[in-house]
Structure 1
Amino acid sequence: MADLSGGLEPVPVALWPPGEAPPVFQYSPDSVAGADAEMDPSEVTFPGCPCRSRSCLAPACPCLCRGHNYRGLCLRGAGQGRFARPVFECNALCGCGERCQNRVVQRGLHLRLQVFRTPSKGWGVRTLEFIPRGTFVCEYAGEVLGWAEARRRTRAQSPQDPNYILAVREHLHSGRVLETFVDPTHVGNVGRFLNHSCEPNLFMVPVRVDSMVPRLALFAATDIPAGEELCYDYSGRSHNPPGNSREHEPLEQDNRLRKPCYCGSSTCASFLPWDSSLFATPGSSP
């Protein structure tokens, strides 16, 4: 069976149906720096922990100062409503071993996933095996952009183009807002094929490993049976605390720029969420 990742993932990414393939793009398991990125996602800027054990323990490990992040491959607290705690994994400069329990997202894909042709949504992703609630599924990787380039690319899109550019906004206690724009149009991983759902079975958590540039990690919001399509909420409202959203409220009066939603859920909003701030003129409020 064809491997969409070309051997770049620990587990092959299957394609269906045979003989068909999505438009050509460069597969990358990790995000890369885009045209005007302020930071290179591959650069190691965090200091490592001094732990010398095979696996770090809280509260002795500075990477775990907020408590343990994982239980096996599952995010702790993922089944307890909205998830708000920052997640920092041990990094390349840490003294702990590669099998440290605080290294999950950085290890890459571990589930058997399949990119498949859907009846009405183009390409999608489904799981070929059962996924327990809270399990890390995959990243949403692509080019990390600055606001100006993200705005330029968004404004250049037509309604027929795929809805790819993702805007993540993290609201800090200080009042500061951290923005991350990821575009997997030309460079990306299996996450670029995930469709939106108004009732998703995945949720996204920014996970930091080597630097302040987060890895956009997707976890199972519920137990997911084999064969089910994997989807997340493009707006960021599902399973995220108020204020930590991925989209601004849509401009309901201008549906010409919006794409229809085909998720088929009972709460479907009819249109895909989108970020109206990227259509704002320079100097105006988003």
Structure 2
Amino acid sequence: MDSSKKPKPEPLDHPSTLLTLCPSSSNPDVNSEYFRISELFRSSFEQRLRRNGDVPISIEPESDPYATAIVPYTNPEAEALSDGELIPRVVATRKLPSRSSELVRVTDLQTEEFNVFREIIRRTRILFESLRLHSISGDDKNKDPTLMTPNRRMRGDLKAANMMRECGLWLNRDKRIVGEIPGVCIGDIFYFRMELCVVGLHGQVQAGIDYLPASLSATKEPIATSIIVSGGYEDDEDAGDVIVYTGQGGQDKNHKHVGNQKLESGNLALEMSLNYGVEIRVIRGLKNEGCSSGKVYVYDGLYRITNSWFEVGKAGFGIYKFKLVRIENQVEMGSAVMKFAASLRARPLEARPQGYVTLDLSSKKENVPVLFYNDIDNDHDPINYKYLKTTAFPPYVYNYGNNNGCECIGGCQDNCLCVMKNGVLAYDHNGILMKGKPLIFECGPCCSCPPTCRNRVTQKGVKNRFEVFRSMETHWGVRSLDMIPAGSFICEFAGVVLTREQAQLLTMNGDSLIYPSRFTERWKEWGDLSQVFRDYACPSYPSVPPLDFALDVSKMRNLACYMSHSSSPNVFVQLVLYDHSNVYFPHLMLFAMENIPPLRELSIDYGVVDEWSAKLAICN
């Protein structure tokens, strides 16, 4: 079937079928809340068509009978004292609105406008991950481990998506966006298919083609908006910028071809998108054994369908094929960056023959090498500092308080002495921080539990491979060669501790000081469930006094000191104690606030100036 031989219908961006939005900085509505995005767009349809039959968020009862349950959760203000449940803002039986039939395209977003949408996307993804961890935590408490089958995965992603949908927190449901989703960047990674639905990048829970059905289309023809390329069909061909995509259908439940495909549903939608010249969002699903879902999804940008045809596939049945070509002048594909990062991890000098100053800035102090790369100029300043793996506290800090440890032998549980200081276990089985708290107590050198204890995470040091690099925008920067899941420990912000008096003396001659009291309390965002549970309260236990010390990084520092500042960071500070009990001098531990793709720069919110100094002291 050669599309060039068919008559071309009226372009889809005609006012009667598609509204193209061109916002400007003078438009006051652009900076409104994202869930009111409908105020930015006016309907191009004369009337709403009947509701769309979306794929429901559900799971077979025999595979997980608790998939759609509202999971009880302990009140953060009384974690160690009661088993009270949080109250959801809506009930599970509420009738939920269907997806809109309206197609819109958002173009020419200014930087300030894009940042507004980016922040809403960021907060939505934080909430999704917080709810997912919250759901798993509830399962851990309520299920008998002896009755659980091996390798069974609790579907916390389904539960999180359900709760967000019931609260009306899914994005882009009131309009179907053609092209870029405002606030989503090429290269963004997602560990769960449901998260794609939550942010509106791909609206189908199972199908690889997302489209507006003919029954809802103003032209009475289906229109495709996005596809997922994950190797589900043996006839697929993926060369990066060019994809030969096999249509849907003709397979049994074991993904084997048993019949011919038909030009209907998603296949017909792709054909119509070819005819109308509609751009298609492409998400690639890549195998990843390191995550619970076994797959990671990366957004690779916009493609156009340039041709389609029908042929006999490898299995001997008729299939529809669509050729997609990536639109020019986009940033590099996220999947390509991931492949390049893999080559850097294996053979950095072969992948980048020029630019590496040293292959280990830490001089073997960290568990893995810290690369130092500069292909811009001859500034090699970071190698002039002694690398400090962990913060250097004054000796008297270790003589304060009760340093008695727990007596757990196999591993710590909720009744552990150290865990009880936190109220509940702070980390899941993969070492992911469940939620931010004012302070976290980890098991320490006086404890009887083994190094594999679940309550020992940050003290184990760096586990990802990082690279300090020269940046034209931020002078110095830090990026990871690995994917970092949200909630993962990154590294400590290390320096030499100075008292307030010592710091004041040092500032007389200029300083390279970091003031922990200035770091914003971004930990409050990690685990914030207030949008879903109306009686949620931010954790206030364990309490910690004001941080009245500074970190001197003028001669000794670690990779954290080269992280750039951002008011919308992807890294946050969590206070932790493990090697002493002096709450006045906690460790500054850094955690990922979102899923961080390889080679994306890490950023942290250093806060604002205070009475200590007239300037914001950022190391770089």
Normalised to the residue count of structure 1, the TM-score between the two structures is 0.72
In the TM superposition, what is the alpha-carbon distance from 1:86 to its structure 2 partner? 2.2
Q: Secondary structure at the match of 2:505?
A: helix
Q: Is the 8 A contact 2:439 2:542 kept in 1?
A: no
Paired residues for 1:98-109 under 5 Å:
98-109=451-462
Shift of 1:174: 8.2
Hey, what does 2:266 align to over in structure 1? Answer: none
Query: Is residue 2:561 matched to residue 1:183?
Result: no
Structure with more contact order per residue of length (Cα contacts < 8 Å, sep ≥ 6): 1
1:168 aligns with 2:168: no
Q: Structure 2 CA distance, aligned partners of 1:32 and 1:14?
A: 23
Distance of 2:399 and 2:452 partners within structure 1: 20
The one-letter amino acid paired with 2:457 is V
Letter in 2 for 1:21: H
1:230 aligns with 2:602: yes
The letter for the 1-side match of 2:368 is V
Partner Cα separation in structure 1 for residue 468 and residue 399 of structure 2: 26
For the 8 Å contact 1:141–1:216, the answer to whether it is kept is yes
- Judged with a 3 Å threshold, the aligned counterparts in structure 2 of structure 1 residues 187 and 40 are, in CA distance, closer, same or farther, namely farther
8 Å CA contact 2:418–2:443 kept in 1: the answer is yes
Distance 1:193 1:142, change over 3 A: same
Q: Which residue of 1 aligns with 2:388?
A: 28
Relative to structure 1, the CA distance from residue 175 to residue 8 in structure 2 (aligned partners, 3 Å threshold; closer, same or farther) is closer
> Share of identical aligned residues, percent?
33
Q: Which amino acid aligns with 2:362?
A: S
How many pairs were matched up? 232
1:146 partner letter:
T
CA deviation map 1:44-95 (0-9, x unaligned): 9621111111x2111x111101110111221112xxxxx3342000000100
Looking at structure 1, the residues matched to 467 and 542 of structure 2 have their Cα atoms a distance apart, in angstroms, of 39
Q: How many Å apart are 1:111 and its aligned residue? A: 0.6
Which aligned pairs between 1:103-122 and structure 2 lie closer than 5 A? 103-122=456-475
Using the alignment, how far apart are the partners of 1:47 and 1:183 within structure 2?
Answer: 30
Q: Which residue of 1 aligns with 2:445?
A: 92
Q: Which amino acid aligns with 1:144?
A: V
The 1:95–1:153 alpha-carbon spacing in structure 2 relative to 1, beyond 3 Å, is same
Paired position in structure 2 for 1:261: none
Structure 1 contact 136–217 (Cα < 8 Å) conserved: yes
Aligned to 1:192: 561
The alignment partner of 2:504 has SS state of helix
Give 2:404's match in structure 1, choosing from 31, 47, 70.
Answer: 47
Query: Is the partner of 1:177 in helix, strand or coil?
Result: coil
Alpha-carbon distance in 1 for matches of 2:462, 2:595: 18
Aligned residue identity for 2:388: S
Compare the two structures and name the one with the higher helix fraction. 2
2:434 is matched with 76
Q: Which amino acid aligns with 1:122?
A: H
Report the CA distance shift for 1:204/1:137 in structure 2 as closer, same or farther (over 3 A).
same
For residue 570 of structure 2, the aligned residue among 201, 206, 226 is 201
- Residues 249 and 5 of structure 1: is their aligned pair in 2 closer, same or farther, counting only changes over 3 Å? same
Look up the equivalent residue of 1:216 and give its one-letter code.
Answer: L
> What is the RMSD of the two structures over their aligned residues, measured on CA atoms?
3.0
What residue ranges of structure 1 are gaps of 5+ in the alignment?
A: 78-82, 237-246, 252-256, 259-272, 276-286
Larger Rg: 2
Does 2:465 align with 1:133? no
Name 1:63's counterpart in structure 2.
418
Q: Which residue of the partner structure matches residue 215 of structure 1?
A: 587
TM-score (norm 2): 0.35
1:278 corresponds to: none
- Say whether residues 1:151 and 2:504 are aligned partners: yes
Which residue number in structure 2 is paired with residue 142 of structure 1? 495
- What do residues 127-170 of structure 1 show as CA deviations (whole Å, max 9, x unaligned)? 1111111110111001011001112223422xxx7x54223379
Distance verdict in 2 for CA 1:173–1:223, change over 3 Å:
closer
CA shift, 1:42, in A, is: 10
Q: Are the equivalent residues in 1 in contact too, given 2:370–2:466 (CA < 8 A)?
A: yes
Residue in structure 1 matching 2:368, options 1, 11, 28: 11
